[in-house]
Amino acid sequence: MIAYKDEIGRVLSQTTGIDWTGYTARQVKIRKPSGTVITKIDAAVIVDDAPTGQIHIVSASGDLSETGEYLMQAKVTIGSVVLYGPLTSFDVEDVLT
Protein backbone atom coordinates (compact mmCIF):
# COMPACT_ATOMS: atom_id res chain seq x y z
CA MET A 1 0.00 0.00 0.00
CA ILE A 2 1.21 3.50 -0.80
CA ALA A 3 -0.09 6.73 0.70
CA TYR A 4 1.05 10.31 0.20
CA LYS A 5 2.42 12.81 2.66
CA ASP A 6 -0.19 14.86 4.52
CA GLU A 7 -3.16 13.01 2.99
CA ILE A 8 -6.36 13.31 4.99
CA GLY A 9 -9.05 10.72 4.38
CA ARG A 10 -6.76 7.94 3.09
CA VAL A 11 -8.27 4.53 3.92
CA LEU A 12 -5.69 2.23 5.51
CA SER A 13 -6.92 -1.39 5.51
CA GLN A 14 -5.69 -4.51 7.23
CA THR A 15 -6.78 -8.14 7.38
CA THR A 16 -5.95 -9.20 10.91
CA GLY A 17 -6.88 -12.87 10.85
CA ILE A 18 -8.79 -12.29 14.09
CA ASP A 19 -12.56 -12.76 14.45
CA TRP A 20 -13.71 -9.39 15.81
CA THR A 21 -17.20 -10.65 16.68
CA GLY A 22 -18.01 -9.74 20.28
CA TYR A 23 -15.06 -7.38 20.79
CA THR A 24 -15.16 -5.07 23.79
CA ALA A 25 -12.33 -2.74 22.73
CA ARG A 26 -10.42 -2.17 19.50
CA GLN A 27 -7.25 -0.29 18.67
CA VAL A 28 -4.82 0.31 15.81
CA LYS A 29 -1.32 1.66 16.34
CA ILE A 30 0.69 3.25 13.55
CA ARG A 31 4.42 3.82 13.90
CA LYS A 32 5.86 6.61 11.76
CA PRO A 33 9.39 6.43 10.31
CA SER A 34 10.63 8.63 13.20
CA GLY A 35 9.31 6.13 15.75
CA THR A 36 6.36 8.28 16.83
CA VAL A 37 3.30 6.10 17.49
CA ILE A 38 -0.28 7.16 16.73
CA THR A 39 -3.13 5.25 18.38
CA LYS A 40 -6.63 5.01 16.91
CA ILE A 41 -9.26 3.58 19.26
CA ASP A 42 -12.79 2.21 19.18
CA ALA A 43 -14.94 4.33 16.79
CA ALA A 44 -11.87 5.27 14.71
CA VAL A 45 -11.31 1.56 13.90
CA ILE A 46 -13.94 0.42 11.42
CA VAL A 47 -14.65 -3.30 11.26
CA ASP A 48 -15.55 -4.17 7.67
CA ASP A 49 -15.97 -7.93 8.17
CA ALA A 50 -15.75 -9.20 11.75
CA PRO A 51 -15.37 -12.96 11.03
CA THR A 52 -12.43 -12.46 8.63
CA GLY A 53 -10.85 -9.63 10.62
CA GLN A 54 -11.00 -7.05 7.84
CA ILE A 55 -10.70 -3.55 9.35
CA HIS A 56 -9.72 -0.06 8.29
CA ILE A 57 -8.94 3.38 9.65
CA VAL A 58 -9.03 6.74 7.88
CA SER A 59 -6.06 9.09 8.07
CA ALA A 60 -6.55 12.40 9.85
CA SER A 61 -4.48 15.58 9.91
CA GLY A 62 -0.91 14.83 11.01
CA ASP A 63 -1.16 11.04 10.67
CA LEU A 64 0.87 10.87 7.44
CA SER A 65 3.21 13.79 8.10
CA GLU A 66 6.48 11.97 7.33
CA THR A 67 7.76 10.18 4.25
CA GLY A 68 9.07 6.63 4.59
CA GLU A 69 7.93 3.27 5.89
CA TYR A 70 5.08 3.09 8.41
CA LEU A 71 3.99 0.07 10.45
CA MET A 72 0.39 -0.63 11.45
CA GLN A 73 -0.89 -3.20 13.97
CA ALA A 74 -4.38 -3.90 15.26
CA LYS A 75 -5.30 -5.00 18.77
CA VAL A 76 -8.68 -6.35 19.83
CA THR A 77 -9.97 -7.16 23.30
CA ILE A 78 -12.68 -9.78 23.65
CA GLY A 79 -13.57 -10.17 27.32
CA SER A 80 -10.27 -10.83 29.09
CA VAL A 81 -8.54 -11.98 25.90
CA VAL A 82 -6.23 -9.57 24.05
CA LEU A 83 -5.21 -10.44 20.47
CA TYR A 84 -2.86 -8.67 18.03
CA GLY A 85 -2.97 -8.60 14.25
CA PRO A 86 0.11 -8.86 12.07
CA LEU A 87 2.44 -5.94 11.48
CA THR A 88 1.53 -4.37 8.16
CA SER A 89 3.90 -1.95 6.48
CA PHE A 90 3.08 0.78 4.01
CA ASP A 91 5.02 3.61 2.43
CA VAL A 92 4.25 7.31 2.50
CA GLU A 93 5.72 9.25 -0.40
CA ASP A 94 5.98 12.89 -1.40
CA VAL A 95 3.70 14.16 -4.14
CA LEU A 96 5.04 15.73 -7.31
CA THR A 97 5.16 19.51 -7.22
Which tens digit of pLDDT belongs to each residue from 7-25?
Answer: 999 999 999 999 999 888 9
Q: How far apart are the first and last CA of the chain?
A: 21
Contacts of 50 (CB under 8 A, 6+ apart): 19, 20, 21, 23
pTM over 0.95: no
Domain 2-91 part of CATH 2.60.40: yes
pLDDT at 50: 93
Q: What is the pLDDT of residue 79?
A: 85
Amino acid, res. 80:
S
Q: Which residues pair with 31 in a beta bridge?
A: 37, 71
Dump strand ranges (E) for 1-97: 2-4, 11-15, 25-31, 37-41, 46-49, 54-58, 68-78, 81-84, 88-93
